Amino acid sequence: MGIFSPGFTGRPRKASEDLPPGQYLTKDFPVLSAGPTPRITNDQWEFTLTTETGEKRKWNWKALQALPIETINTDLHCVTRWSKLGTTWRGVSIDALLADVDTSAQFAMALCYGGYTTNLPLTELLDGKAWIAFEYDGSPLHAEHGGPARLLVPHLYLWKSAKWIAGLRLMDRDAPGFWENLGYHNHGDPWLEQRYSEA
């Protein structure tokens, strides 16, 4: 955290929050994907960051593990209406990956093994709001849940937390990803119930 803003109070904050509108609680971890599950080994896995000018940076499994690893306790909300509370993950924050990257881009496209894509404003990926996660509930992340590594953006519907993540492409202009092209909401905030695009 940086500096305080003397005299700034902000909106009143709720002490306890319940589920986002239209969600129900589940104890198991449903699997939803647009196609078959890609099988990628840790050795094959590679993450590529491409800036808006086309500059590329790559991390293999070892390089990823050498970055600061965080434990993430978070709730998950799927657009298909299940929510799962208090899940535990380990991963590397997107802030850590972007720390030395020079960019003025506002948007990012997540690119995945298997061809899946999803778009996000870059601000939704920064400030400790998103990670490349590779451990779930104390075990390596299973392939059906996106292993070896997935994007984790838990404050948005889970389709934004792209499984089998292979890279991020930074963009000056927003462009829809896979589900966003198929009628799902461009942003996907569960608290605003942004499930489907209005158009």
Partner 1 sequence: MAVTWQIATVVSIRRETATARTIVLRIPTWRGHIAGQHLDVRLTADDGYTAVRSYSIASSYDAATSDAHDVELTIEQIEDGEVSPYLVTHLSVGDSVEVRGPIGGWFVWRPQQTEPIQLIAGGSGIAPIMAMVRASTALVAEGAIAPLRLLYSVRSPATAIFAEELRGLDARNLVEVTMVYTRGGPEGWPRRIGRVDAADIVVACWPPDASPTCYVCGPTAFVESAAGLLVEAGHLPDLIRTERFGSV
- DSSP letter for 160, please: G
Instruction: Using alpha carbons, select from 154, 195, 170, 184 the residue that is nearest to residue 54.
Output: 170
Supply the minimum distance, in Å, between the C-beta of residue 129 and partner 1.
Answer: 11
Q: Is 143 in the site for partner 1 (CB under 8 A)?
A: no
Q: Which residues in the 30-49 window bind partner 1 by CB under 8 A?
A: none
In the chain, the largest separation of any two C-alpha atoms, in whole Å, equals: 53
Within residues 113-132, the interface with partner 1 by CB under 8 A covers: 122-123, 126-127
Sheet with strand 56-60: strands edge to edge:
56-60, 46-50, 165-171, 107-112, 117-121
Residue 188 backbone zone (phi > 0: left; psi -120 to 50: alpha; other: beta)? left
Q: Among residues 2, 54, 86, 138, which is the contact residue for partner 1, using CB under 8 A?
A: 2
x/- site string to partner 1, residues 152 to 181, per CB under 8 A?
--------------------xx--------
70 lies in the binding site for partner 1 (CB under 8 A): no
* Cis? peptide before 6, omega within 30° of 0: no
Which one of residues 106, 117, 194, 197 is an interface residue with partner 1 (CB under 8 A)? 106
Q: Could you identify the residue written with the tokens 């992340």? A: 141
Closer to partner 1 at the Cβ: 7 or 138? 7
With CB under 8 A, what is the number of residues at the site for partner 1? 28
